[in-house]
């Protein structure tokens, strides 16, 4: 925003402001003129500036709007800066990516009051044609629904156009799960590598990527064989940020399988389990990239770092750990989350099928 004030050739004082219109998200210039009935230049100038400053205050406090001209882009930017201001930085960053990178370029020019379900359906269809996943399109739908719900509360629209569109379908994701043999091969390749501790704890204790990055060696009690999960490193537009774990149940203690404790003791040092040489946190995406590069360099089957958490969950269920126990170790808020990790591998399914043979015995 830029302001100024000058005396025109016709003798009038003009105060102006160049700003981004919150209703249309377009650059605008608005001028205000001093009352020529005032006797001195000083009073005329002050009058023009007072009118302008009153307008600027409305812009800055979010009180300015002309309902008929509000565009989808204008409202979404106001929704992001006003209604999302108290959300976590990671949430704000995520919303901004979808709003500025996907939604506004497609439907931002539409007048908010004139937006119809068919406009949204065309947008979703276009995203699908661009090969964006159902998960991405559904997230866009959720953001729009929340933004339009606030627009109703503010009296800008009567009904939510998202209610007239069926939520996009999300394809079920099937992660790649290492076999026990493949995981052992991975661990053998990792001996002496900086990521060795991370992969041990991810595969054997089911820790999330952010939990691994937030972990310090002081969080591991080698006498009791317990690791405490108390921090989570997340990526934000301002760099890596250490936060509390993602939910109440994510703050937890996990007993470490005894066979990996000697290996962890050899790797023990000061500070965080995995951090840069200057002690600062790695960007979570950097850890995933380093893991991917390691697999490629060692000609190992490609999996995501998070797939080691799936591996851990699957192995627990395969070896008789109950769903409730597995849920507690993984830090899930309910058992339904744990059920999603039950990727039944072929030999587990065969055992189940063979149990049914008893029906025909005798």
Helix H or strand E encompassing 313: helix 307-318
Does the pLDDT of residue 345 top 50, yes or no? Answer: no
129: in domain: yes
Burial class (CB in 10 A: 0-12, 13-18, 19+), 217: middle
Q: Residue 340: is its pLDDT beyond 80? A: no
Claim to verify: residue 293 and residue 209 sit in the same structural domain = yes
| Same domain, yes or no: 154 and 109 | yes
pLDDT score, position 66: 67
pLDDT > 90? residue 72: yes
By CB atoms closer than 10 A (0-12, 13-18, 19+), residue 294 is middle
Q: Of the residues 164, 196, 227, which one is the last residue of a structural domain?
A: 164
Are 328 and 242 in the same domain?
yes
Q: What does the alpha-carbon distance between residue 294 and residue 196 come to, in Å, rounded to a whole number?
A: 11
- Statement to judge: residues 323 and 229 lie in one domain: yes
pLDDT of 362 over the 80 cut: no
Beta bridge partners of 272: 216
Of 58-67, 197-206, 239-248, 274-283, give the lowest mean pLDDT range.
58-67
Q: Is 255 helix (H, G, I), strand (E, B) or coil?
A: strand
Among 19-28, 164-173, 335-344, the minimum mean pLDDT is found in 335-344
Residue 274 domain-assigned? Answer: yes
Same domain, 271 and 211: yes
Question: pTM here?
Answer: 0.68
Residue 124 lies in a domain: yes
Q: Give yes or no: residues 211 and 86 share one domain.
A: no
Asked, for residue 359, whether it belongs to a domain, the answer is no
Region 134-148 average pLDDT:
95
Which carries the bigger pLDDT value, residue 119 or residue 354? 119
Residue 208 maps to which CATH number?
1.10.443.10
Count of H helices and E strands in the chain?
Answer: 15, 8
State mean pLDDT over 186-198: 93
Q: Is residue 360 part of a domain?
A: no
Regarding whether 137 and 201 lie in a shared domain, the answer is no
Same domain, residue pair 39 and 127: no
User: What is the count of structural domains for the chain?
Assistant: 3
Q: What is the pLDDT of residue 129?
A: 94
Together in a domain, 42 and 58: yes
**Residues for the chain: how many in total?**
362
Strand 252-255 with 226-229, pairing:
antiparallel
- 110-116 average pLDDT score: 93
Q: Which range has the worst mean pLDDT, 119-123, 301-305, 332-336?
A: 332-336
What average pLDDT does the segment 281-290 reach?
93
Tell me how many degrees the CA angle 184-190-195 measures, rounded to the nearest 5: 120
Averaged pLDDT, 74-103: 92
For residues 59 and 72, state if they share a domain: no
Domain boundary among 136, 164, 192: 164
198 and 242: one domain? Answer: yes
Structure tokens at 212: 């691994």
Q: How far apart are CA 22 and CA 123, in angstroms?
A: 23
Task: Give yes or no: residues 114 and 242 share one domain.
Answer: no
What is the rounded distance in angstroms from the CA atom of residue 74 to the CA atom of residue 80? 10
Rounded mean pLDDT of the chain? 87
- Selected residue with higher pLDDT from 167 and 136: 136
Q: Best-predicted range by mean pLDDT among 39-43, 235-239, 347-351? A: 39-43
Average pLDDT over residues 329-342: 66
Confidence at 79, pLDDT banded by 50, 70, 90:
very high
Residue 341 has pLDDT above 60, yes or no: no
Q: Of 33-47, 151-165, 348-362, give the lowest mean pLDDT range.
A: 348-362
State the residue range of the domain holding 310.
180-349
Asked whether residue 295 is domain-assigned, the answer is yes
**pLDDT band of 185, cuts 50, 70, 90:** very high
Residue with tokens 């009352």: 35
Q: What whole-number distance in Å separates Cα of residue 40 and Cα of residue 347?
A: 93
């Amino acid at each position: 925003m830029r302001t100024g004030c000058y005396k025109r050739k016709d003798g009038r004082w003009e105060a102006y402001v160049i700003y981004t219109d919150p209703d249309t998200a377009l650059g605008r210039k608005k001028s205000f003129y001093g009352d020529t009935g005032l006797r001195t230049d000083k009073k005329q100038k002050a009058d023009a500036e007072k009118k302008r400053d009153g307008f600027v205050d409305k812009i800055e406090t979010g009180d300015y709007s002309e309902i008929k001209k509000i565009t989808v882009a204008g409202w979404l930017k106001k929704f992001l800066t006003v209604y999302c201001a108290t959300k976590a930085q990671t949430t704000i960053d995520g919303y901004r990516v979808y709003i500025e990178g996907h939604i506004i370029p497609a439907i931002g020019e539409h007048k908010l009051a004139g937006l119809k379900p068919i406009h949204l359906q065309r947008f979703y269809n276009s995203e699908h044609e661009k090969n964006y996943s159902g998960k991405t399109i559904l997230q866009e739908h959720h953001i729009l629904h929340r933004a339009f719900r606030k627009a109703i509360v503010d009296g800008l629209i009567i009904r939510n156009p998202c209610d007239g569109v069926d939520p996009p379908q999300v394809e079920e994701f099937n992660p790649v799960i290492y076999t026990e043999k493949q995981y052992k091969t991975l661990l053998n390749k990792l001996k002496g590598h900086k990521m060795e501790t991370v992969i041990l704890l991810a595969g054997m204790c089911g820790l999330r990527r952010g939990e691994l990055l937030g972990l310090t060696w002081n969080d591991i009690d080698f006498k009791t064989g317990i690791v405490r999960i108390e921090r989570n490193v997340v990526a934000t537009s301002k760099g890596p940020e250490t936060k509390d774990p993602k939910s109440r149940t994510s703050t937890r203690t996990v007993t470490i399988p005894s066979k990996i404790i000697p290996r962890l003791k050899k790797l023990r040092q000061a500070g965080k389990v995995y951090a840069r040489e200057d002690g600062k946190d790695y960007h979570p995406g950097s850890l995933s990239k380093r893991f991917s590069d390691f697999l490629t360099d060692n000609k190992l089957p490609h999996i995501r770092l998070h797939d080691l958490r799936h591996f851990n969950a699957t192995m627990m269920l395969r070896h008789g750990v109950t769903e409730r126990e597995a849920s507690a170790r993984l830090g899930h808020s309910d058992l339904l989350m744990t059920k999603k990790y039950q990727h039944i591998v072929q030999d587990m399914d065969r055992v189940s099928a063979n149990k049914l043979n008893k029906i025909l015995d005798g």
